Chain A
Amino acid sequence: MYRSNVLVCGGTGCTSSDSLKIVEKLKEEIAARGLEKEVNVITTGCFGLCALGPIVVIYPEGSFYSMVKLEDIPEIVEEHLLKGRIVTRLLYQETVEEDTIKSLNKTAFYAKQQRIALRNCGVIDPEKIDEYIAMDGYAALGKVLTEMTPTEVIETILASGLRGRGGAGFPTGLKWKFAAANDADQKYVCCNADEGDPGAFMDRSILEGDPHALLEAMAIAGYAIGATKGYVYVRAEYPIAVNRLQIAIDQAHEYGLLGDNIFGTDFCFDIQLRLGAGAFVCGEETSLMTSIEGKRGEPRPRPPFPAVKGLYKKPTILNNVETYANIPRIILLGADWFNTIGTEKSKGTKVFALGGKIEHTGLVEVPMGTTLREIVEEIGGGIPNGKKFKAAQTGGPSGGCIPPQHLDIPIDYDNLLAIGSMMGSGGLIVMDETTCMVDIAKFFLEFTVDESCGKCTPCRIGTKRLLEMLDKITKGQGTLEMIDEMEELCHYIKDNSLCGLGQTAPNPVLSTLHYFRDEYVQHVVDKKCVAGVCKDLLEFSIIKDKCFGCSMCARQCPAGAITVTDYTAPGKKKPAYEIDTAKCVKCGACLPTCKFGAIVKG
């Protein structure tokens, strides 16, 4: 029994800022004071508040130390762990209220969250199966195997209203029911952990913070549909997740929770890892299965659906990590409990990866129906540097941008579709006034052009043509007709592409065209980029009355475009400089050299 438990985040965000060295240092300092029998150091999964990493939480006090540095460790150990005096100076300041310390759960970031999928992240040591079991782990699998029939399991999942968390929101129970209805000598349970959406990292956090929840849920799914084999398709770019998953699989085998005759029943289930090699299209179900077979991950037409002919042409179900993470809770607490959370058609919670121009970058899990305003302004802490909110991007390269007028819409699958975006896997990137919407559309199109597998023409050639037009517009070579042509092409690609990647690829263009058409028109007609992003449309100039004639900018200019004039501003001693826009290469090198704010871009 330890008197203090020190939890250190070992997720990718915090390990990138050296949290593992902090663990070493903590252990060293604790040993140096002979406290190793009283104080336990635990490496956990992600706490969610990645912006404040590395994070150290000490219980029983619940003190939340943020942005901890190596040199802070001796002080924390000496003062807090040895002498019992909390080092208030190093705490996350929002938890400090005059003389008292607030619980972490009462801070703005956590207060509105409800954690189901992330319940164990940042709480348990993901590399120890005993800690998972202590949190009711594998109890759901036990209940299913000893008390429920496969049909009852499927009925429970159906009644819970759980929908796929990976993108389109297909009812999970229905998927299972279809696969269960097909007789075959072999069926498969697959997990999509390929999280290809740039800017989303919720699946990674679950894999890193609570890998056993996934294994337990896959075994439950296997029992429900009559499969004995499972595959987790996980990105090779997530080394920590891959490692912890493998540890979890080995431990589950050791405890008899995977393998033959689980819980003494005749149910056998085994799980293997398959590493993805970086292809966005492999998030599409038929592509992912082709990739598990070791081939080029190209999609194929549906039907037949995977529930009939999937992996190796056998009935297969594929769910996303976050979907699986909900399953054990639903089994233990019942469909009725899950039904009380969320909106009418979207039950439960959703994890969002908050990123971009926002104060609290990190992972948040909120009930469906929470508004975007609550997520951005209250949980996310608003936009830094006093900038204005311009749009939130959801759904990654398949989604769209949500403008300020829709900030109060309750977020669920159907509402997001209605305003031209989609839930996607849950990436939520906030943009402020310095983000150019045409440039963002171009960024996503570059991504899809790069990732298009090339199998069908509308996606392969259509997205390429779309990108060329966007490129022209950002260079000031666009026309108004081009905007209309783009719109037409978008609809053509949507209607005719083979798979989900192509069918959704035009969404970033369509949604920005819908909500920010003015910005496109400005690029085309006025040849201006108000956000100051599109280089070719920028113009640098010197406000002569502010210029002291110090010549710093002229010396920096690589193009020799800045020359002295014969005008001396009132109160200045030397003549002012000016920029020859014909010679200017718009590199922006002059901008930081001016100490007087005389150079402007726009």
Chain B
Amino acid sequence: MLKKISSIPFAGTPEQEAELKAVIAKHIDDPGAVMPVLQEAQDIYGYLPQEVQTMIAEGLNVPLEEVYGVSTFYSQFALSPKGKYNISVCMGTACYVKGSGDVLNKLSEELGIGAEECTLDGKFSLTACRCIGACGLAPVITINDDVYGRLTADMIPDILAKYKD
């Protein structure tokens, strides 16, 4: 999968760095530490910019190439930051046959961004995600932790309005 790499400058804080170093120290002796460390690093920073990957590579004493290889292999790892509200559109089969493609197009039209992009004000990001397993509610989107199901494209503007504070 091709990943969008962020051009937004890195803005990590010393607190975040200390947290990451603690995570690295916790895992340094585990075989196969790269994945769990990347997962926890993403929880700390929200995404995995090159600076963070470099710190992980140096901390775990593995080549940066290997860290980058893993971070680009799995769809869960994000190389660009997420918006304040991250909208995930489920593109599983059950949602797709019930019109999630239309829902994604409508979101993209309303927000003016494509899938895997973030609005310029950093408010919304849009992701086309794999099945989240709520097939009974198809088609489904999630906005951060809120779940919206049984959607049609014309319900999108009202839903977005709730987040335009």
| Alpha-carbon distance between A359 and B94 when the two chains are bound, in angstroms | 13
In the complex the two chains form, what is the Cα distance from A294 to B147 in whole Å? Answer: 31
B16 at the A/B interface (Cβ < 8 Å)? Answer: no
**How far, in angstroms, from A360 to B36 measured CA to CA in the complex?**
38
Contacts of A396 in B (CB 8 A): 93
**Contact partners of A295 in chain B: CB under 8 A:** 32, 34, 66, 69-70
Q: Nearest chain-B residue to A208 (Cβ)?
A: B133
Cβ-Cβ contact count across A and B, 8 Å cutoff: 130
Residues of B within 8 A of A404 (CB): none
B133–A12 contact, CB under 8 A? yes
Instruction: Report how many residues on chain A are interfacial, defined by Cβ distance under 8 Å.
Output: 52
Q: Which one of B7-15, B71-79, B155-163 is at the interface?
A: B71-79
Docked-complex contact B33 and A294, CB < 8 angstroms: yes
For chain B, the bracket of interface size reads 35 or more
Do A278 and B75 have beta carbons less than 8 Å apart? Answer: yes
Known: A199-B92, A294-B33, A295-B34. A361 touches B136 (CB 8 A): yes
CA distance A443 to B128 in the complex (A): 13
**CA–CA, A443 and B137, complex, Å:** 20
Known: A16-B147, A355-B93, A440-B97. A200 touches B131 (CB 8 A): yes
Instruction: List residues of chain A with CB within 8 A of the CB of B66.
Output: 295
Residues of A contacting B35 in the complex (Cβ-Cβ under 8 angstroms): 274-275, 277, 291, 294
Interface centre among B34, B136, B140 (most CB of A within 10 A): B136
Q: Which residues of A contact B38 (CB under 8 A)?
A: 277
How far, in angstroms, from A213 to B94 measured CA to CA in the complex? 28
Q: Is the CB of B97 within 8 A of A435?
A: yes
Q: Which of A16, A50, A356, A362 contacts B97, CB < 8 Å?
A: A356
Choose one: A13, A51, A293; the contact of B31 (CB below 8 Å): A293
Given A236-B76, A453-B73, decide whether A355 and B96 contact each other with a Cβ distance below 8 A: no
Residues of B with C-beta under 8 A to A199: 92-94, 131, 135
Residue of B nearest to A588 (CB): B102
Which residues of B are found within 8 Å of A458, using beta-carbon distances? none
Q: What's the minimum C-beta distance from B28 to chain A, rounded to whole angstroms?
A: 12
Interface residue ranges of B38-73 to A (CB < 8 Å):
38-39, 66, 69-70, 73
Contact B98 A451 (CB under 8 A): no
Segment 424-453 of A: residues with Cβ below 8 Å from B: 427, 429, 431, 435, 440, 443-444, 450-451, 453
Report the minimal beta-carbon distance from A14 to chain B, rounded to whole angstroms: 8
* CA A278 to CA B70, docked complex, whole Å: 11
- Determine if A244 is an interface residue (Cβ-Cβ < 8 Å): no
Evaluate contact between A204 and B36: CB separation under 8 angstroms.
no
Interface centre among A236, A294, A444, A592 (most CB of B within 10 A): A294
Question: 1/0 per position for A377-398, CB-CB distance to B under 8 A?
Answer: 0000000000000000100100
Q: Which residues of B contact A16 (CB under 8 A)?
A: 134, 137, 140, 147, 149
In the assembled complex, which residues on chain A have CB atoms less than 8 Å from the CB atom of B75? 277-279
Closest A-chain residue to B2, C-beta based?
A450
Q: B residues within 8 A CB of A403?
A: none
State whether the Cβ of A198 lies closer than 8 Å to any Cβ in chain B. Answer: yes
Residue A62 is within 8 A (CB to CB) of chain B in the complex = no
> Which residues between 297 and 317 of chain A lie within 8 Å of chain B, taking CB atoms?
297, 312
The yes or no answer to B18 lying at the interface (CB within 8 A) is no
Q: CB of A296 within 8 A of chain B?
A: yes
Closest approach, in angstroms, between the C-beta of A445 and any C-beta of chain B?
Answer: 13
Q: Which residues of chain B are within 8 angstroms of A297 by Cβ–Cβ distance?
A: 73-74
| Separation of A567 and B129 alpha carbons in the complex (Å) | 49
Is B120 an interface residue when CB atoms closer than 8 A count as contact? no
Task: Determine if B73 and A198 form an interchain contact, defined as CB atoms under 8 angstroms apart.
Answer: no
B91 at the interface (CB under 8 A from A): yes
List, in ascending order, chain A residues with CB within 8 A of B31's CB: 293-294, 312
Checking A50, A198, A296 against B130 with a beta-carbon cut-off of 8 angstroms, the contacting residue is A198
Q: A53 touches which one: B69, B136, B154 (CB < 8 A)? A: B136
The answer for the CA separation of A440 and B1 in the assembled complex, in Å, is 20
Q: List 5 A-B contacts (CB under 8 A).
A: A13-B136, A16-B134, A238-B133, A444-B93, A450-B1
Residues of A within 8 A of B (CB): 12-13, 16-17, 50-51, 53, 195-201, 204, 236-238, 274-280, 291-297, 312, 353, 355-357, 361-362, 393, 396, 427, 429, 431, 435, 440, 443-444, 450-451, 453, 592
| Additional 11 contacts, C-beta under 8 A, given A237-B130, A296-B70, A357-B97 | A17-B137, A198-B96, A275-B39, A277-B39, A280-B130, A295-B34, A296-B69, A356-B94, A361-B135, A429-B93, A431-B97
